[in-house]
Chain A
Amino acid sequence: MLIRKTLQLGTLIGAIFATGYLLADDHEGGGNRSLPIVSNQKWQAECASCHMLYHPGLLPERSWRKLMGGLDKHFGENASLDKATQQEILQFLATNSADHSGSRRSAKIASSIPAKSVPIRVTETAYFQGKHDEISPATWKSQKIGSQSNCIACHSGAEKGNFSEDNVRIPR
């Protein structure tokens, strides 16, 4: 009786660990899924004064070019910059963009976007949608999340480029 119970418990614990391992696909290959640590003072100061800091590795270069070319109408707001600051930030974003960053997650984002498409929202990419297909509309709209653009609500390391599934905490 005791042996049977111990075996059942062991199987249960084993199953839990195996499930966790399989769900956390960040383990595969043990590779560098985290986007590389990047830094630029103007990027941090200007881009994060109104919203969270989006990592350059989340969109390909052509997307950043389009986005930085339309800052006077930036998702309905005027976020225009002086020419020198705009150029410096664009250069930084392009250099570290999804098609140049070298991280596997960036490469997957970039390859999920059709060649002729130039999305300026990370949430439009097939990669993002595939990774979040289990999240219900009610969860997105919950007070602590609010919208799909609020990465840091669940990914506390988002601004540093860490989107590891192990660190996801969906606020309730």
Chain B
Amino acid sequence: MSKAFWLILLMLSTNAHAASPAETLQNYTAQAKQENPTFGTSSSSKGDVFFHATRQHSNGDKVSCATCHTDNPKQNGKTRANKEILPMATSANAQRFTDLAKTEKWFRRNCQDVLERTCTAQEKSDFIAYLLSIK
């Protein structure tokens, strides 16, 4: 084994935020159980409904996750300022849900922008389950 290999392995293992999408899902599922002891398991079909559900924002706009991410999570989305957003589905974007801090940052922002409240851990885990389930 070369020195470079071990160096890379060391760097990967010391990166605190690195996680697989499945580990990120597990993290939110565990949080959901803490929030609600009766919570069973995450539901990709509930996540599907959550992703596409449109609501009336207090500013008058109709908004949903799909407003920026499009109805098909395997496609690129677009921010309101016209910047490309890489696909949300892990089958189309391997980087998605591999950084817990980043995932939490975007939930914090986008739950406010779409729902005007924070999301529950259950909603987050269903949402990720849906995006991991898309082949």
A79 is an interface residue with CB less than 8 A from chain B: yes
Chain A residue numbers with a CB within 8 Å of B105 are: 81-82
Cβ of A77 and Cβ of B83 under 8 Å apart?
Answer: no
Judging by beta carbons under 8 Å apart, are B113 and A77 in contact?
Answer: yes
**Would you call B72 an interface residue if the criterion is a C-beta within 8 Å of the partner chain's C-beta atoms?**
no
Inter-chain contact A150/B82, CB cutoff 8 Å: yes
Determine chain A's interface SS by DSSP, over half rule.
loop
Is there contact, CB below 8 Å, between A50 and B79? yes
Write the nearest CB–CB distance from A86 to chain B, whole angstroms: 12
What are the interface flags for A41-52 relative to B under an 8 Å C-beta threshold, 1 for contact and 0 otherwise?
000000011111
A99 to B75, CA, bound (A): 42
The docked-state distance in angstroms from the alpha carbon of A96 to that of B82 is: 26
Asked whether A50 and B108 contact (CB < 8 A) given A76-B59, A77-B113, the answer is no
Give chain A nearest CB distance to B52 CB in angstroms.
Answer: 21
* CB–CB A78/B81 < 8 A: no
Residue pair A78, B80 in contact (C-beta under 8 Å) = no
Q: Is the CB of A52 within 8 A of B83?
A: yes
Chain B's closest residue to A146 (CB) is B82
A80 at interface by CB-CB < 8 Å? yes
Point out residues on B near A: beta carbons under 8 Å.
Answer: 59, 79-83, 105, 108-110, 112-113
- 7 closest A-B pairs by beta carbon, nearest first, are A51-B81, A78-B109, A78-B112, A50-B79, A78-B113, A50-B81, A77-B113
Using CB atoms and an 8 Å cutoff, list the residues of chain A in contact with chain B. 48-52, 72, 76-82, 146, 149-150
Could you list 24 examples of A-B contacts with CB < 8 Å? A48-B83, A49-B83, A50-B79, A50-B80, A50-B81, A50-B83, A51-B79, A51-B81, A51-B82, A52-B81, A72-B112, A76-B59, A76-B80, A77-B80, A77-B109, A77-B113, A78-B112, A79-B109, A80-B108, A80-B109, A82-B105, A146-B82, A149-B81, A150-B82
